[in-house]
Chain A
Amino acid sequence: MNYQLLLPEIFLFLWAILIFVLDFFWKRGKQNLGYLALIGVAITMFLSLTSQNGELFGGMFLADSFSSFFNFIFLLCGFLTIFSSINFIRKLSSHQGEYFALLLLSMVGMMFLASAGELITLYVALELTTISLYVLAAYLKNDSFAPLTTRSKSSEAGLKYLILGGVSSGLLLYGISLIFGLTGTTFLKGIKMTLITTFLTYQKIGPALILSLIFFIAGFGFKLALVPFHMWVPDVYEGAPTPITAFLSVASKAAGLAAFVRVFFQSFLVFQVDWALLIAVLAALAMIIGNVIALVQTNIKRMLAYSSIAQIGYILLGVVAATSRGVASVSFYLFVYLFANMGAFIAAITFSNTTGSDEIKDYAGLSQRSPALAAMMAVFMLSLVGIPPLAGFTGKYYLFSAAIEQKYFWLVVIAILTSVISLYYYVGVIRQMYFQTSTVEKPIAMPIALKVSLIISVIGVLLFGIYPNIFLNFATQAALVFHY
């Protein structure tokens, strides 16, 4: 067996342990642990990009172009999260080192999730990811620097996330057990073979399979924050430390989506007609409800929370299409969404570091106080709307094209109408920054770490809007893993 395939995961795991250990001995200057974590992520990225394709343990672990594309997303997102946390973590009174180690562990979980070729592996990886995140969401709980409301909100976030995450894992597990009962295997390929044979014999799918599909969709739905499983999102996003919120909104969703796509396209593609319509309806609901509720938000974190609910609706357009173009567009959109959304959150972190506020109305006159920050925020917002030539447009264009190729015109029309709605609230932030004047003249402090991560995001948004070729090809490669 070629254990080299596991090298990136093993390395990142050991690095996380190393940080845990060092944390005991390192009394001062814990933000250096953050830089250490960054180095670890960078090395893992290199390992993951250079690693070969193959499978281990009889197909339990798959290293292919799909998993390596998603690994790249997780690692990049983790990189930006760690980078933007370094300043924030200094303010914490305790447990500074564990923060980075937990983030790394969660990334290890995600990498396994994208590579899982078997349902139990998938489940364990999912738990590794989310349990680390439960802790991180509640990180401000005992922190003396934070105001009481922030503390209680953070512990509320952690608890809510824990309970609902637990329920959804339970649902998923139930779905897995039903599938195991029906097919006698937990390997995705085996499930596919058995289901096809059964289907060919009986020409229809039984109620047990439908039930298990529904459990799968509900279980993943919680992770992806699909409507109607989205209730936890705004509270958790608002309460969690902002870098963690950013991480949740991008990496955790990408991980959920990777697993979702893997399971549905590897095992259940035969019954595509049966689940595609359900997913299409869920996508439509997500776009409508997410965008409409986002309109009335006054807190930027809550606004971005609802916007991310809506964004997942757009992403599902590609899943519904169920073609190689669809999967490629999903992968590519997640990749460009990473830059825009991370960028928006990092800009919010920068802003609240100085002002201590997350209210959109406090952004008034930002273009006068800090022109560069305001301009970057404006670029992120416009990219999230999908205004060309920013990356968000290229991504949306690709998603829409996948859906139209499969003649889902009604879904695309909903996507369009809700995009117009979304313009209003995204541009609302720009309106505050540019059209209003501020009473405060003081510029926003931009520490070097935040500045660099903002610039990385802006470059991503601009570059992949104008010249997306490299990653489009990468995404197309990733989509070829499945047989349609």
Chain B
Amino acid sequence: MIFTPFLGMIVILFLKKEQENAARYLAGFFSFVPLVLSFILLAKYDGSTSQIQFVEKFDWIPSLGVTYYLGADGLSVPMLCLTALLGFVSVIYSFGDIKERVKQYFAFLLLLEVGMMGVFAALDFFLFYIFWEIVLVPMYFLIGIWGHGRKEYSAIKFFLYTLFGSLFMLVGILALYFTVEPHTLNMMTLIEKASQLTRGFQVIVFVAFYLAFAIKVPVFPFHTWLPDAHVDAPTAVSVILAGILLKMGIYGFLRISYPMFPQGAIYFALPIGILALINIVYGALVCMAQKDLKKMIAYSSVSHMGYCMLGIAAITVTGISGCVFQMVSHGLITGALFLLVGVLYERAHTREIGAFGGLWIKLPVYSGIMILFCLGSLGLPGLSGFVSEFMVFIGSYPSFKVIVPLAVIGVVITAAYFLRMIQRMFLGTFNTQWEALTEISGREIFTVVPLAILMIGIGVYPAPLVNMIKATMENIVHLVSG
């Protein structure tokens, strides 16, 4: 499953420069296979246990204690499915979007997918780190070559920020390796052995890992790479950035930091809660001030990731489940929003919110879909965003009696900026400047419809997803609070 895109990348690299369509269809095929596989995974997954399933394990570099160890549990299965889905969607979307250096583009996109899938499935630290870093390289190229605006600046900023964080994680990994007896890089064993670690050690290593994950999420004050990278990246890459890359950070917290360093997690619960609040409110306030649609959605990600962090910091089953829910729902919603922004930008060549008006008259289908996702993002009941935010608030209220009510302000501001954006872009009098705009095409609709169905599906009937992740979440909370 993980290496199908890799195979695709190799095949595409052997194509000739001129065979652009072949590259497109091959990429489509090689990203469709993991999607199918992820459905099989979903169907076979047994949600009643927190055990790791679908294990693949063998020795890799014995002298360094490295094993090749993949597996999935209730935390990684939803993420793997989301990755496969968004990967496929972004490949399909790129069919029309990318016209230059097509072959290289799809090769990098597929390599990116390999890295992301690997992160969510790896259970050996060395392997995890390799996948974690593999993601950076294609991302750097994708932003730098096919991006817009200050693309080179954004690309290198993204690269430097994340490498900075992940190298601290590397030190953390090594420190952990030498502290635990017998030395091991197996995450599951390390989680079992967490009791060997002293409190001071846990706190320090927690900080090292925190740097890596918080930059990725991004948690304030490490968030400055995000708007740059999101805005300047090509549409499909923004989708992946927002939909999956940010979740790698959250995933890291849930998979590594919390179960492995429970005392560090408890020690930092309040600071993380406060930072989460800052993310929520500050992100939302910055959104209010944005004139650029894409930038607004980028900052809304900062705000939404704050809910995830809040859910984690609370260390309750409902809070953490809400966080995973938010990861999935934000992936769907924001992914779709970025696609829709891309659709508009491709036609109008501007993303100024103020430049539009009354688009509903001209583009009813487009506007309808866009408004649906905006409502999802602001947390309208019946859509997935509401469920996740609700769960986060319920789950974290017992832990943070002051922060949660303040965080609710964030929801209000979110509603405000989305509604204002809808009003200014789609309602009101039609700006005749955009007479020539064409309606959203069939292929583009094809990319957002599955996301919409899932968003509504999860929003109306969240039980299957809740049941799937429940056992694992209970296990995480049990590990942290003992």
Contacts and interface: CB of A to CB of B under 8 A. Distances in A.
A435 B163 contact: no
Contacts of A467: 61
B63 A388 contact: no
A431 B133 contact: no
Interface string A459-471: 0000000011100
Given A405-B178, A435-B144, A476-B63, A400 B170 contact: yes
A427 B167 contact: no
Interface string B430-444: 000000000000000
Interface in A99-150: none
Given A388-B130, A401-B174, A405-B178, A435 B160 contact: no
Given A387-B133, A434-B144, A409 B61 contact: no
Interface centre among A394, A397, A424, by most chain B C-beta atoms within 10 angstroms, is A397
A413 interface: yes
B64 interface: yes
A401 B167 contact: no
Interface string A439-470: 00000000000000000000000000001110
A472 B64 contact: yes
Nearest to B176: A404
Interface string B150-179: 011001100110011001101100110110
A416 B167 contact: yes
A335 to B, nearest CB: 14
B144 A472 contact: no
A469 B61 CA distance: 6
A435 B140 CA distance: 11
A389 interface: yes
Contact of B171 (A385, A413, A468): A413
A361 B136 CA distance: 24
B406 interface: no
B134 A416 contact: no
A397 B65 CA distance: 12
Nearest to B167: A416
A382 interface: yes
A289 interface: no
B141 interface: yes
Contacts of B412: none
Q: How large is the interface on B (under 10, 10 to 19, 20 to 34, 35 or more residues)?
A: 20 to 34
A173 interface: no
A473 B63 contact: yes
A209 interface: no
A216 interface: no
Contacts of B178: 401, 404-405
A398 interface: yes
A71 interface: no
B64 A398 contact: yes
B136 A424 contact: no
Interface string B329-350: 0000000000000000000000
A479 to B, nearest CB: 11
B221 interface: no
B129 interface: yes
Query: A-side binding surface: helix, strand, loop or mixed?
Result: helix
B482 interface: no
Given A389-B130, A397-B170, A424 B156 contact: yes
A416 B61 contact: no
Nearest to A406: B178
A387 B136 contact: yes
Contact of A416 (B130, B141, B155, B170): B170
Interface string A393-432: 1100110110011000100110011011001100100010
Nearest to A476: B63
Contacts of B170: 397, 400, 416
Contacts of B167: 416, 419-420
B406 to A, nearest CB: 35
B263 to A, nearest CB: 20
B145 interface: yes
Contacts of B141: 434
A435 B136 contact: no
A386 to B, nearest CB: 9
A469 B137 contact: no
Nearest to A475: B63
B168 A468 contact: no
- Interface-central residue, A367, A388, A389, A431, by most chain B CB under 10 Å: A388
A435 B164 CA distance: 23
Given A400-B171, A412-B171, A476-B63, A423 B159 contact: yes
Interface in B100-130: 104, 126, 129-130
A5 to B, nearest CB: 28
A346 to B, nearest CB: 21
A424 B137 CA distance: 13
Q: Give me the 5 closest cross-chain CB pairs, A-B, nearest first.
A: A388-B130, A416-B167, A404-B174, A472-B63, A388-B133
Given A388-B130, A389-B134, A401-B174, 9 more contacts: A388-B134, A397-B170, A398-B64, A404-B171, A420-B163, A427-B140, A431-B144, A467-B61, A472-B63
25 contacts: A385-B163, A388-B134, A389-B130, A400-B170, A400-B171, A400-B174, A401-B174, A401-B177, A401-B178, A404-B175, A416-B167, A416-B168, A416-B171, A419-B163, A420-B164, A423-B160, A427-B156, A431-B156, A434-B145, A435-B144, A435-B145, A435-B151, A435-B152, A469-B62, A472-B64
